[in-house]
Amino acid sequence: APPAEGARTSARDIIEAMPLPTWLRGGKLGIQVANLTAQAITGPDIGMEQAQKAQETGSPVTQRHLLTAEDGTPRILDITETPLAGGGSLGVAQDLTHAEETERSFTRHISAQNEVMDSLATAIVIFDADQKLTYNNTAYAKLWTLEASWLAEQPTYGEVLDRLREQRALPEVTDFKAFKTEQLSWFTKLTDAQEAMLHLPGGGTLRAVMSQHPMGGLVFAYEDVTDHLNLERNYNTLGAVQRETLDNLYEGVCVFGADGRMKLKNPAFARIWKLPDDGGGNALHMTGFVGHVLPMILRDEGKKPLSKNELVAKLMSREPGRGRLDLSDGQVLEYAKVPLPDGAVLLSYLDVTDSARVENALLERTHAMAEANVLKSEFMASVSHEIRTPLNAIVGFASMLSDNYFGDLSTRQQEYSHGIHESAEELVGIIDNMLDLASVEAGLLTLELDTVDVNTLLLNAMNSVRDRARRKNIEIVFDSPADIGWVVADEKRLKQVLFNLLSNAVSHTPPKGSVLLTARRESIDMVFSVTDGGPGLDETEVPPGLSLIARFIELHNGVVDLTNRPGHGTTVTCRLPTETNGRKANQPDLFSGFIE
């Protein structure tokens, strides 16, 4: 009928004008009208089952289809078949290809983002607008020691705070309820990112950053800065210690950088070189520093002075150096230059003016003492020669008188001549001792070492003082094993030692007293002892010839010990090795053995 034909024409116009693929099915569900976009995707069977189901149910039926376009590209369509009252149905297709691709791309992006955040050391957690946890990375669970299964249940931010409080992982607060309320309020009032430092009960420190999420809710990022803060604190402490150390050094220290500018100096450096002790001085260039100090340096007359540029080049070179500078004002400085790994140069200056003056004084005194020793040796040699000549005459004439060369002498005359002879011999011995002591102190005396029989040595020394002891009615007691053996020594010097010891003992022993001479072996040592029967010595009294005795024994690598017992006499013990290389001993204080 014409009206029906008009209706179909009107429906066709409407369908063709539709932007989406649209078609019209007749009573037998065959496609009667389809617009151009629908013709590219519709086929004889497309949506047929949906149309039948729509006819049966009397309501629209939607189903997703995967089709291939004419150019071979896959297409994803949502097709809806709506039953019509007069029979047939109206089909509409919605192309979701781009939407699906966008969704898959977004899913891949989210997955990649989660993988990246899981690999971060920074703990990250996201709560949605309903305060439910929607994402957390591995670092977050590890930082707060929360179970992954519990986090997967999407707890709220309030529940997370409660759990952390139970674990004593949150900073200590006096009113936790108020703290929790304030934390939850950030979901509604936060506009800009907030940053805070959380000081945890365990001693750790976290840097927390809270910001809005584009989809609603909040994003929390936690970074453990405990090690960083400890390192920063240690660095600051070390810097302060170094600065304080440098500032209190007596030595002047400065550092010039690779660019030639002063990077560091301490007050001692500024004081030595009269530089301003303020921050502005740190920018001083090496050329300016050299220009400032060059007029202060005393020039060496024997050397060509360095120019300013030469001195700058020398100070900035990579060669270490040290030396001494004399300043025009009388100061003496010891300097050191040390190249640093970063190209800088460390310069240090120490004021040694006082030490230099003492050193010069000591050198002058040493030279004076050396000259005095020479004069003393010459004087003693002269005195020895001048005194020995008349002494030899006295000894000779006294000996001739005693031997009755010029006639018989009376008993008293014999005693007088014998006394003159003995006194002259003692004086000769004293002079010889003085010369020997001077030779030892000057290092001129050398030992003539040989194997010496100890008992023979002791008997000879004892016989040399026997007459003197007999005149005082003093008994010399000799105590030495017959098999004591021998010792490697200078026989002449050892005999001189024993003679002096026995002479001193006889002199200090009262008449009818006794002197004890002993010898024994102790390990590798040979020990000689002489004990007198006198009243002992005062602390300030030194037995005559003891200095020479000590020097002779010391030349044999031996030691001398003096034991004083007031009222019971004095014992002098000489200990020397049986062989010269048997032991090296240090000479002790001669009075270390005094016993009060």
The least confident of 39-48, 92-101, 541-550 is: 39-48
**79 with 92: CB under 8 angstroms?**
yes
Q: Who has greater pLDDT, 108 or 451? A: 451
Rg of the chain on CA atoms, in Å: 58
**566 with 596: CB under 8 angstroms?**
yes
Q: Which tokens go with 234?
A: 């240690």
Report pLDDT for 439: 67
Considering the chain, what is the average pLDDT of its residues?
A: 82
| DSSP character at residue 81 | E
Q: Which tens digit of pLDDT belongs to each residue from 20-77?
A: 888 888 877 888 888 877 776 655 467 788 888 888 888 888 888 877 666 677 778 8
**489 with 449: CB under 8 angstroms?**
yes
**318 with 339: CB under 8 angstroms?**
yes
Residue 230 CA, chain-centre distance (Å), reads 20
Q: Which tens digit of pLDDT belongs to each residue from 130-181?
A: 999 998 988 999 999 999 899 999 999 999 999 999 999 999 888 999 999 9
pLDDT confidence band for 437 (50 / 70 / 90)? low
Enumerate residues 6+ apart whose C-beta is below 8 A from 178: none
* Closest listed residue to residue 428, CA positions, set 393, 455, 404, 461: 393
Q: Who has greater pLDDT, 31 or 280? A: 31
Instruction: Check whether 415 has a pLDDT greater than 90.
Output: no
pLDDT confidence band for 326 (50 / 70 / 90)? confident
The structural domains of the chain, ordered by start, are 2-95 (3.30.450.20), 102-229 (3.30.450.20), 249-351 (3.30.450.20), 357-428 (no CATH), 446-577 (3.30.565.10)
Which residues, in sequence order, are bridge partners of residue 324?
334
Q: Distance from first CA to last CA of the chain, Å, rounded? A: 159
What is the pLDDT averaged over residues 110-121? Answer: 74
Instruction: Check whether 404 has a pLDDT greater than 50.
Output: yes
Q: CA 59, 50, 86: angle at the middle one, nearest 5? A: 50
What is the pLDDT averaged over residues 191-197? Answer: 90
* Closest listed residue to residue 348, CA positions, set 377, 379, 324, 383: 324
Instruction: Check whether 587 has a pLDDT greater than 50.
Output: no
Report pLDDT for 157: 93
What is the pLDDT averaged over residues 471-492? Answer: 89
Instruction: Report the greatest alpha carbon distance in the chain.
Output: 204
How many residues are recorded in the chain?
596
**34 with 88: CB under 8 angstroms?**
no
**577 with 553: CB under 8 angstroms?**
no
What Cα–Cα distance (Å) separates residue 482 from each residue in 454, 526, 530?
9, 14, 18
* Closest listed residue to residue 382, CA positions, set 438, 313, 334: 438
Q: Which tokens go with 379?
A: 């004087």
Quickly tell me which residue has 């600065």 as its tokens: 243
Instruction: Write down the H helix ranges in 26-76.
Output: 36-39, 48-57
Q: Which tokens go with 337?
A: 């230059």
| Pairwise CA distance, residues 134 & 213, whole Å | 11
Q: Using CB atoms within 10 Å of the CB of residue 300, give its burial: 0 to 12 exposed, 13 to 18 middle, 19+ buried.
A: exposed
**522 with 543: CB under 8 angstroms?**
no
| Pairwise CA distance, residues 402 & 405, whole Å | 8
What Cα–Cα distance (Å) separates residue 246 from each residue in 232, 241, 265, 562?
21, 8, 8, 53
What is the pLDDT averaged over residues 349-357? Answer: 88
CA count, 13 A, side-chain hemisphere, 88: 13
**36 with 55: CB under 8 angstroms?**
no
| Pairwise CA distance, residues 421 & 427, whole Å | 10
Give the three-state DSSP class for 141: helix
Phi/psi for 515 (5° steps) reads -125, 135
